[in-house]
Amino acid sequence: MKPYKLAAKEDKKHNTIISISTDTGKVMIGQGYHVLIAGPCAVESADDFLQLALFLKEEGAHILRGGLFKPRTSPYSFRGLGMEGLDIMLEARRITGLPIISEIMDYRDIELMYDAIDILQVGSRNMQNYSLLDELGKLKKPVLLKRGFSATIEEWLLAAEYILDGGNNEVILCERGIRTFETYTRNTVDIGGVALVKHLSHLPVLVDPSHGTGRWELVTPVAKAAIAAGADGVMVEVHQEPDKALSDGRQSLNKDNFKLLSRSLRELALLENRIV
């Protein structure tokens, strides 16, 4: 048997589909569906985030993303608004009806975020934070698990196994690029790995082409490749003025480019017989 017994497809009759209830209906993540998660790398201000949230809903986003606690390489970089940003995200959910996703960095923040956030994200740097994974396994809450930037596919699936073994079956995998010798892109998106994980596991698989490439001009083509490879959706970063973003502006789409992305992915998803 594979070492990731619960994440493996062998004993599962059906692929996992995660349903998230909202005030306006349900968002489905998994086989047969197409989901688009969008928003800025970090919540920066109330006015900007709320205006952007309304725009993203109008242009086809299913889930709003926004960083509250940002793990940055430099401690002097903008590290998020913390709980102040959470109030802004909750207001965005209220006015749009869309569910929200944000990164959790420490198991001590679970009590603060559990009732507020619809999907808890585990970032690349925390993929093997086993204390955090153990605690998330005790919850009844969807968890999006990003692949570590130096993790093999087996290590990624075994990290998911920690959450599943705790009793939480609502795990979403997210490929966000791995570190290679290439320097023209921020990371190398493992498109072949996406297709392989869809073959190995019953869990939903998303792709983050923003962190994966680090270049906004590559986000749309890589997102298309992800859908063609079998990904159940994508997560992208969007900012009104990427040049002025406090974090990751280089990889963020502006509004016009997000419109093009959303429409292109919708057309491709329909060709793949996905429900959009």
CATH assignment of the domain containing 254: 3.20.20.70
How big is the CA angle at 182 (ends 204 and 241), to the nearest 5 degrees? 70
The single residue listed with the structure tokens 């795990």 is 171
Within 99-190, where are the H helices? 110-113, 130-136, 153-165
Overall domain count for the chain = 1
Specify if 232 maps to a domain: yes
pLDDT score recorded for residue 162: 98
Q: Which helix (H) or strand (E) holds 230?
A: none
pLDDT score recorded for residue 72: 66
Specify if 5 maps to a domain: no
Specify if 274 maps to a domain: no
For 160-188, the pLDDT digits (tens) are 999 999 999 999 999 999 999 999 999 99
Specify if 158 maps to a domain: yes
Binned at pLDDT 50, 70 and 90, residue 13 comes out as confident
Contacts of 39 (CB under 8 A, 6+ apart): 49, 52, 53, 56, 61, 64, 65, 66, 237, 238
DSSP letters of 39-106? E-SB---HHHHHHHHHHHHHTT-SEEE-BSS---SSTTS----THHHHHHHHHHHHHH---EEEE---
For 70-88, the pLDDT digits (tens) are 776 777 677 778 888 999 9
For 113-155, the pLDDT digits (tens) are 999 999 999 999 999 999 999 999 999 999 999 999 999 999 9
Specify if 2 maps to a domain: no
pLDDT score recorded for residue 205: 98
Say which residue, 12 or 57, is predicted with more confidence: 57
Specify if 191 maps to a domain: yes
For 37-73, the pLDDT digits (tens) are 999 999 999 999 999 999 999 999 999 999 998 776 7
Specify if 3 maps to a domain: no
pLDDT score recorded for residue 12: 83
pLDDT score recorded for residue 44: 94
Instruction: Tell me what percent of the chain is helix, strand and coil, each rounded to the nearest 5.
Output: 40, 20, 40
Instruction: Kindly state the average pLDDT of the residues 84-93.
Output: 94
For 214-267, the pLDDT digits (tens) are 999 999 999 999 999 999 999 999 999 999 999 899 999 999 999 999 999 999
Range of the domain at 242: 17-268
How far is Cα 202 from Cα 16, in angstroms, rounded to an integer?
6
How far is Cα 172 from Cα 176, in angstroms, rounded to an integer?
13
Contacts of 95 (CB under 8 A, 6+ apart): 50, 53, 54
What is the pTM (predicted TM-score) of this model?
0.96
Mean pLDDT of all residues belonging to the chain: 95
Specify if 188 maps to a domain: yes
